[in-house]
């Protein structure tokens, strides 16, 4: 069953790319229905990397949808990206994760990279030949970015990197890890830079050790690993933008895109939970009638549907602002915060509607319930989101 918004037009009728976007979304939905939904339970249960799904994503060109056409991509807008993420997350949230850090890397290179960096990386990232990872968090530094310790010291034409990074999605299979390092430990935020760390997929690569996959509550099937640098040498030509001291501001710009991704994932997971629930409520009978006819269930569905609709609108608003090049840390933070909390609440209500069946792995609600909490802590915890939102609101509405 589809909601009224599932197949909505991506853009205004006058948009010359509207037909392309609609065709791409239709392809993504077929791919989701034919290849992702039938296999998600098995891959999730075995925590197995879904190589056939990733290869099909490459074949469909999904890794290049936001890469500019001059570098081999489709150059589509951020809202289209969010809609694709929503559709993939509807099928299995893990699949949308293969795109998030990849596109954060693409965004950083296309926005801040030198022309040489764009030419070297973006065409191969557009085809999925190399996948991107976003390397910011450390064992003792997550939301507190200023506390990172990974150090890069200039040595001739190279930087020598030492330190440990955590929670790298795509970390094992990635070909380039966009990595925040300290190039001047005495300069606070101005002492941070971004290096484009090239590596081969696998557990070891010339001074890089990739830890084992972290066992997680949900979000299974995608590698989430630790990356340890031990005198790893990175060419100075791979300093993002060719200038030291810009890393913090570059990575924060990418985080806005990551938070839009999280909100889109939350919408996709919430929509699946809602649609499974409204279908189940019309089929499951108690006391001689479908449970959908009980007022208590109707109230739940009303709240779920309303939260879902609001979350989607907030996600798309932040996506449109990001695409226009506007500052959107406030809107992206709000979208991430609201959508992730709404997703968690909707999944809890979905489990209640399904009763004991919702607790069984036979039904998708069990997996959705495990996946939903990731969005609350991913790309900055919601407690951090509320701090960001509060500070921005005080800036915007400050009293003279």
- Give catalytic status of residue 379 as yes or no: yes
Distance, in Å, from the CA atom of 171 to the CA atom of 222, rounded to the nearest integer, reads: 9
For the chain, which residues make up each domain, given as ranges? 18-127, 132-246, 249-396
78-91 and 295-323 helices, crossing angle to 10°:
140
Measured on CA atoms in the order 353, 359, 363, 365, is the torsion positive or negative? positive
Question: Which residues, at least 6 apart from 84, have a Cβ–Cβ distance to it below 8 Å?
Answer: 24, 25, 28, 62, 65, 99
Predicted confidence (pLDDT) per residue in 55-94, tens digit: 999 999 999 999 999 999 999 999 999 999 999 999 999 9
Give Cα separations from 237 to 38, 116, 248, 268, 341 (angstroms). Answer: 44, 9, 19, 39, 42
Q: What is the mean pLDDT of residues 261-282?
A: 98
Predicted confidence (pLDDT) per residue in 316-350, tens digit: 999 999 999 999 999 999 999 999 999 999 999 99
Q: How many CA atoms lie within 13 A of 368 on its CB side?
A: 33
Residue 224 φ/ψ, nearest 5 degrees: -130, 110
| pLDDT above 70: percentage of residues in the chain | 96
How many residues does this entry show for the chain? 400
Which residue among the candidates 243, 379, 383, 396 is catalytic per the annotation? 379
Q: What is the mean pLDDT of residues 4-32?
A: 72
Distance, in Å, from the CA atom of 287 to the CA atom of 110, rounded to the nearest integer, reads: 60
Predicted confidence (pLDDT) per residue in 98-121, tens digit: 999 999 999 999 999 999 999 999
| Whole-structure pTM value | 0.93
Strand partners, 228: 164, 209
Q: Please choose, from the candidates 269, 265, 339, 273, the residue with its C-alpha nearest in 3D space to the C-alpha of residue 307.
A: 339
CATH number corresponding to 249-396: 1.20.140.10
Name the class of domain 18-127. mainly alpha
Mean per-residue pLDDT of the chain: 92
pLDDT at 147: 85
Report which of residues 6 and 261 the model is more confident about: 261
Fold of 132-246: Butyryl-CoA Dehydrogenase, subunit A; domain 2 (2.40.110)
């Amino acid at each position: 069953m589809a909601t009224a918004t599932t197949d909505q037009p991506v853009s205004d009728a006058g948009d010359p790319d509207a037909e392309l976007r609609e065709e791409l979304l239709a392809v993504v939905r077929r791919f989701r229905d034919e290849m992702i939904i039938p296999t998600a339970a098995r891959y999730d249960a075995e925590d197995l990397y879904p190589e056939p799904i990733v290869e099909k994503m490459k074949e469909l060109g999904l890794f290049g949808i936001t890469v500019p056409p001059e570098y081999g991509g489709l150059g589509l807008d951020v809202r289209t990206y969010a809609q694709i993420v929503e559709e993939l997350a509807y099928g299995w949230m893990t699949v949308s994760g293969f795109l998030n850090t990849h596109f954060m890397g693409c965004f950083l290179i296309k926005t801040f990279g030198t022309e040489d960096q764009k030419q070297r990386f973006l065409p191969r990232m557009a085809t999925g030949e190399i996948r991107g990872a976003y390397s910011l968090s450390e064992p003792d530094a997550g939301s507190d970015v200023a506390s990172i310790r990974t150090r890069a010291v200039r040595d001739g034409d190279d930087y020598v990197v030492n330190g440990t990074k955590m929670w790298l999605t795509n970390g094992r299979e990635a070909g380039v890890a966009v990595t925040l390092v300290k190039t001047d430990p005495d300069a606070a935020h101005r002492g941070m830079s971004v290096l484009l760390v090239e590596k081969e997929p696998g557990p070891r690569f010339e001074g890089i050790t990739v830890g084992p996959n972290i066992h997680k509550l949900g979000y299974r099937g995608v590698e989430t690993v630790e990356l340890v640098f031990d005198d790893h040498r990175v060419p100075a030509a791979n300093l993002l933008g060719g200038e030291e001291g810009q890393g913090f501001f570059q990575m924060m710009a990418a985080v806005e895109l990551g938070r839009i991704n999280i909100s889109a994932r939350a919408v996709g997971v919430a929509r699946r939970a809602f649609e499974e629930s409204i279908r189940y409520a019309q089929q499951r009978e108690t006391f001689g009638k479908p449970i959908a006819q009980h007022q208590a269930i109707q109230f739940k569905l009303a709240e779920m549907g309303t939260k879902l609709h609001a979350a989607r609108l907030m996600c798309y608003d932040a996506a449109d602002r990001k695409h226009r090049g506007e500052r959107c840390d406030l809107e992206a933070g709000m979208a991430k915060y609201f959508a992730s909390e709404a997703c968690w609440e909707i999944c809890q209500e979905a489990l209640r509607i399904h009763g004991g069946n919702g607790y069984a792995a036979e039904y998708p609600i069990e997996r959705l319930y495990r996946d939903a909490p990731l969005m609350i802590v991913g790309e900055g915890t919601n407690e951090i989101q509320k701090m960001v939102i509060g500070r921005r609101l005080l800036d915007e509405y400050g009293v003279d």
